Amino acid sequence: MADQSNSHGLIQWHGTTIIGVKRGGKTVIAGDGQVSMGNTVMKPNARKVRRIGEGEKVIAGFAGATADAFTLFERLERKLEQYNGQLLRACVELAKDWRMDKYLRNLEALMIVADADSMLVLTGNGDVLEPEGGIAAIGSGGNYALAAARALSDYEKDAERIAHRAMAVAADLCVFTNDRVTVETI
């Protein structure tokens, strides 16, 4: 993740690539492992994709400030508990809180979350988006991965292969993305 100073002059960690692909009854979220500060790679193997919730039936990946993303993971887990594992309902409630709460409003992260039925992109603007064509990507290399995955989806039917190939393209083009990929599948 690349750094960027916020209005308080504090360094914020940004940048990464996360992709979600839903195909043939399988959903995959993949993310790179690079954590950067300026032009220095601080860590090459961070886990930005993980399983959450009771029974770990939800997978989630984040792009943005790491501490902010972990706060959102925790909040989403609580919403999943509150709404009996209903991902869409939990995400809508989290997005409302994220937009309205004074503390949460300052969090700088994006998330892709999925369960066996749906895949969603969450933003701090209160957006809960279901991606077009079952493919979503976020982060500094997100547009590269998204373009590659869309191009591949006409010829490749395996979600995991699409995600791996799209991440490889992003890693080749985005300096804040590396090829140490974490993949979770439902």
Q: Which two tokens stand for residue 61?
A: 């990946």
The yes-or-no answer on residue 123 being catalytic is: no
List alpha helices for 129-185, DSSP H.
Answer: 142-153, 159-173
CB 77 within 8 A of CB 22: no
Q: Which of 16, 17, 177, 182 is catalytic?
A: 16
Beta carbons within 8 Å of 19's beta carbon, 6+ residues apart: 29, 30, 31, 61, 112, 135, 136, 137, 142, 145, 146, 149, 163, 166, 167, 170
Phi, psi values for residue 173, rounded to 5°: -105, -30
State residue 49 phi and psi, 5-degree precision: -125, 130
Which of 100, 110, 53 is CA-nearest to residue 80?
A: 53
**Rounded to the nearest 10 degrees, how much is the dihedral formed by the CA atoms of 154, 180, 170, 94?**
80
- Give the bridge partners for 27, in sequence order: 22
Active-site residues, by number, are 16
